Amino acid sequence: MYGYFLCHAKNYIFVETLYIYFDMKTHYSFLLTFIALSSFVLLSCTSATKTKDVSSEWIPLFNENSLDDWTVKITGYEVGDNYANTFRMEDGVLKVRYDEGYDTFENRFGHLFYKDAFSHYKLRLEYRFVGEQCPGAPGWAFRNSGIMLHGQLPESMDVDQDFPVSIEFQLLGSDSTRSQVTGSVCTPGTNIVIDGELILDHCTQSSSDFFMDDQWVTAEVEVRGNEVIKHIINGDTVMVYSKPQLDDRDPNYEKMLLFNNEEKMLSSGTISLQSEGHPCDFRNVEIMVLEE
């Protein structure tokens, strides 16, 4: 998103300079020069802000035993501080745990961000919930995690910010005490459109089944820029929406407009995985970049 803003600013200064120059010189040849140079700048900026190359292959996003290429941001801590080893890789599994320094959760929500931003892609992974919820975690976070899409950069988050401005593919689990559908959508700092209607509710429930106890569940998301996003659980499409956009009711709205090249609509952004207070595992996290 920083790249979008910088290109926008450079292009504005360059075109404004040419405009003044053209205003002083009214000859037709200067008009042609103006058009040609403006087109060059626009194409250069477009090229500079492209995401990853298109691939027909699934590409793993984790090394087997490290968090290389990922950045941690936990509420109340600086970017990169993996407080109490919250996120850890063991035997090819990303584990979210609270056993090394969480006497109580204290709203220390965490997000693990991949290094690159994406626009058109498929992402899939397997997840499960294990063990007991961390003491002090909110009731609504029971067997609760998520995949954050079209998100802001971790470096742009305030130290005490709970969640990145993003679209959340919500991951929920069930047990004998509580039944919860998974694959729903939540919108921290954003809104979406479903069946032509702008949705202002924070969360919208999916049509998924219940998945009990500690079983592995496959979650897949297909993201087509600002056009359409589909949530898929174990091969079934359970949620479809479109036109993800910034929410002007959010206190970070003006800041996010700046980072998003003054555009309200979201067409790309970061991907991150959540820590919301219940131990969980992720494995086989893969991406396929699609043609725009």
| Residues 3-59 pLDDT 10s | 333 343 333 333 333 333 334 333 434 333 333 333 333 333 333 334 456 767 999
pLDDT at 55: 67
Q: So what's the pLDDT on residue 29?
A: 42
Specify the residue for token string 């820029």: 225
Tell me what pLDDT residue 53 has: 64
Q: What pLDDT does residue 170 have?
A: 98
Query: pTM above the 0.75 mark?
Result: yes
Please say whether the beta carbons of 96 and 275 come within 8 A.
yes
Q: Averaged over 187-216, what is the pLDDT?
A: 97
Angle at which helices 2-24 and 28-48 cross, to 10°: 170
Rg (CA), the chain: 21
CATH number of 59-289: 2.60.120.560
Which of 123, 76, 79 has its CA nearest to residue 102? 76
Report the DSSP beta bridge partners of residue 210. 181
Average pLDDT over residues 72-81: 98
* Residue with the larger pLDDT of the pair 48 and 270: 270
Residue-averaged pLDDT of the chain: 85
Q: Residue 255: is its pLDDT beyond 80?
A: yes
**Residue 193 contacts by C-beta under 8 Å, 6 or more apart in sequence?**
199, 241, 242, 243
| Residue predicted with more confidence, 142 or 292 | 142
**pLDDT for position 56:** 77
Q: What is the arithmetic mean of pLDDT over 234-255?
A: 95
The mean pLDDT of 152-163, rounded to a whole number, is 96
Rounded to an integer, the average pLDDT of 168-174 is 98
Helix (H) / strand (E) element for 148: namely strand 144-151
Q: How far apart are CA 66 and CA 64, in angstroms?
A: 6
**Both tokens assigned to 278:** 């219940």
pLDDT of residue 52: 54
- Average pLDDT, integer, range 87-109: 97
- Model pLDDT, residue 127: 98
Rounded to 5°, the CA angle 202-206-212 comes to 110
Q: How confident is the model at residue 178 (pLDDT cuts 50, 70, 90)?
A: very high
Burial of 72 (C-beta count, 10 Å sphere; 0-12/13-18/19+): buried
